[in-house]
A and B are shown apart, each in its own frame.
Chain A
């Protein structure tokens, strides 16, 4: 399945629309109205975007187990397109806010997080499918994300927290996301080749 075809599907379009609305809302609400007010819109927007994209990636990865396997790469590609479509808002708010975090860092983390969380979602979905507990997936997706964030707080090192990782330079988070993304890509390539081999 192509990425464009996957994006045209109603669930993807709806989530993309929802994401754009969320980003626009967070931008407009935090936009300064007085000249002396500091523009902190980027902080609100990037945190909302990171959390939303990570949650979507985790959810779509988990539910790939209930959909045909060949949609997994297309779904991942569509999720990455979410990030690109939201780029004008991200870049525009960054230009007006002057945060200390480099823009390149935030964009790199924003692109790695869907990859990483998609892989975690795949693992979650496969595990719950094997345990015949797919009905718990809608509950487990947000719970797992919350648990990973709490784990970071307990550990004192940012590893999985998408909010902290996107707005602060945290090499540990980047390394973890890169590792998980690499693992996800390896898994998808292998599974695609094995399906092609079977076909």
Chain B
């Protein structure tokens, strides 16, 4: 072979070999990237449906990953004219061999930009973003087990309906903050009762469509009645024909409005400074004394004046410096029914010096501002003399106040004061463990205590409120209790009702005395459901003042 051809062939083989090697390297790196991406999976909301302006469940799955950090960043500003308001969520994850699942419930604001990444110190292993148009504040409706199309007609055309797996329903109350209803039709297996209880207590209208499969036995025990309240939500049983009407008849409470209603003027009170007149008198006295000492005291007078200045400085510091530079006030609202309660808590922080404040737990400011949230705590950089209101992540607890059979029951270990039932009026205070019949007393004014005034607008009639300090407990009424109190709202006085038994239904004839003329007139009969003791009623027959619609 000629030498030139030999060299040409050899160089060609070298080039070809290099090309093959480069291609092989590219293929390997692509495969590794794909494998890395599949080994890291982030899910937000329910099947990726995020409810902006609400708490959403977060699930991160890691497979065979080193220690990583999950970072979510939101720009919460509403207009490009504003400076960026960066909200961060950071979670340090240990990683390791096998599958690791990290779950949390995070508040996702209405965002302008939303990015996430999973990173180590050296590299970003996975990342992504959500478009601004995906920031949808409408609540979602969950259909568990069945295809979406099966029950899509129960909801409005523009409703956000999401199909979820029954086994994927979280058991955390906060995860359901953006959920309006949950439909279970018995297909796809039975969900965990804890998940259904958590969803309902969170304020979701949970509908069990009958007939239910035998696997739903545990839920039958939970949903003992066709219509019942559990926590802040409704737990309903209905047939397919009645499903839509049942959903529409039982709506959720406006929880954002309830949290905002906790922000009373007392919660926003600042730090009072000494009156100006006192300041003027003190300054005048000091100045006069100092000048006299210096004028007439010569050297000893000067020394005395300087000493007086130092002593007055110390006194001014001790008197004018507040004991606490961070004033935190808290108020909680417990929405109770069926033995469970959803707790909504509001905290205000009045920060005097500019400082970074750390709070344990999860919370979000009512007004968008930059902050950093980790699984353990919230980090807020507050300016000097700044006030911020924070809504904490909803929690689940056992009921401390209940309304059953026309009686209020204090299930807590503290005395509950300012008891009030919307639609009937002020009730007596309750000692720990005590009970009292809901009473209508014309001597007690139906004026609602000031602390409940903003809340009452968002609570159904018949709700019982009581408080222990800053903890407000609301026992939500059943559907029958609510309708009866609504129907008996008239101006005037309700006199003792007479009850007669007509077959299996008790009816009441309410006598009403007009306040102006004093003429007594009767209303139409008001039916209510049979109670175990027909002689007891949730409405103790006293005369009471009620309002005219």
- Measured CB to CB, the residues of A under 8 A from B are 2-5, 7-8, 13, 16-17, 20-21, 24, 27-28, 31-39, 81, 84-96, 98-100
Contacts and interface: CB of A to CB of B under 8 A. Distances in A.
B384 A99 contact: yes
A30 to B, nearest CB: 10
User: Top 7 nearest A-B pairs by Cβ distance?
Assistant: A92-B316, A38-B385, A35-B270, A88-B312, A36-B270, A98-B353, A95-B321
Nearest to A100: B354
B6 interface: no
Contacts of A3: 302
A85 B309 contact: yes
Interface string B297-326: 111011001100110111111011100010
A86 B287 CA distance: 9
A88 B385 contact: no
Contact of B320 (A13, A20, A96): A96
Given A24-B284, A35-B270, A95 B291 contact: no
Contacts of B297: 4
- Label chain A's interface by main secondary structure: helix
A13 to B, nearest CB: 6
Given A31-B279, A88-B312, A95 B320 contact: yes
B275 to A, nearest CB: 9
Interface residues of B, number: 42
Contact of A37 (B270, B279, B384): B270
A91 B317 contact: yes
A96 B299 contact: no
Residue picked from A34, A35, A93, A98, most chain B C-beta under 10 Å = A98
Contacts of A16: 291, 294
Residue picked from A3, A81, A87, A96, most chain B C-beta under 10 Å = A96
B350 to A, nearest CB: 9
B268 interface: yes
Nearest to B277: A28
9 contacts: A4-B298, A4-B299, A4-B301, A8-B294, A31-B279, A84-B310, A87-B310, A92-B319, A96-B273
B280 to A, nearest CB: 6
Residue picked from B268, B270, B287, most chain A C-beta under 10 Å = B287
A150 B140 CA distance: 62
Contacts of B314: 91
B21 interface: no
Interface in B269-293: 269-273, 276, 279-280, 283-284, 286-287, 290-291
B273 A31 contact: yes
Contacts of B272: 35
Interface in B310-354: 310, 312-317, 319-321, 325, 352-354
Contacts of B47: none
A27 B306 CA distance: 21
Given A39-B273, A91-B313, A2 B384 contact: no
Contacts of B302: 3-4, 7, 81
A7 B303 CA distance: 12
Contact of A27 (B283, B299, B312): B283
A43 to B, nearest CB: 11
B295 interface: yes
A95 B316 contact: yes
A69 to B, nearest CB: 22
B540 interface: no
B280 A24 contact: yes
Contacts of A93: 320
Nearest to B298: A4
B288 to A, nearest CB: 9
Contacts of B317: 91-92, 94-95
B270 A89 contact: no
Given A36-B270, A84-B306, 20 more contacts: A4-B302, A20-B283, A24-B283, A28-B276, A33-B276, A35-B269, A35-B270, A81-B302, A85-B306, A87-B310, A89-B283, A90-B313, A91-B314, A92-B313, A92-B319, A92-B320, A95-B320, A96-B273, A96-B320, A98-B353
Contact of A5 (B298, B313, B320, B321): B298
B387 interface: yes
Nearest to B290: A85
Contacts of A37: 270
Nearest to A39: B273
Interface string B104-146: 0000000000000000000000000000000000000000000
B384 A38 contact: yes
Given A2-B299, A27-B283, A89-B283, A35 B271 contact: yes
Contacts of B298: 4-5, 8
Residue picked from A92, A94, A95, most chain B C-beta under 10 Å = A92
Contacts of B295: 8, 13
A98 B283 contact: no
Nearest to B303: A4
Contacts of A90: 313
A4 B294 contact: yes
B276 A31 contact: yes
A152 B491 CA distance: 75
Interface string B13-41: 00000000000000000000000000000
Contacts of B269: 35-36
A77 B63 CA distance: 75
A154 B301 CA distance: 45
A36 B350 CA distance: 9
Contact of B287 (A20, A31, A96): A20
B264 to A, nearest CB: 14
A111 B251 CA distance: 69
Contacts of B325: 98
B299 A88 contact: no
Nearest to B294: A7
Nearest to B286: A88
A7 B305 CA distance: 12
Nearest to B385: A38
Contacts of A20: 283, 287, 290-291
A96 B321 contact: yes
Contacts of A32: 273
Interface string B379-410: 00000110100000000000000000000000
Given A36-B387, A91-B316, A84 B309 contact: yes
A21 B288 CA distance: 11
Contacts of A81: 294, 302, 305-306
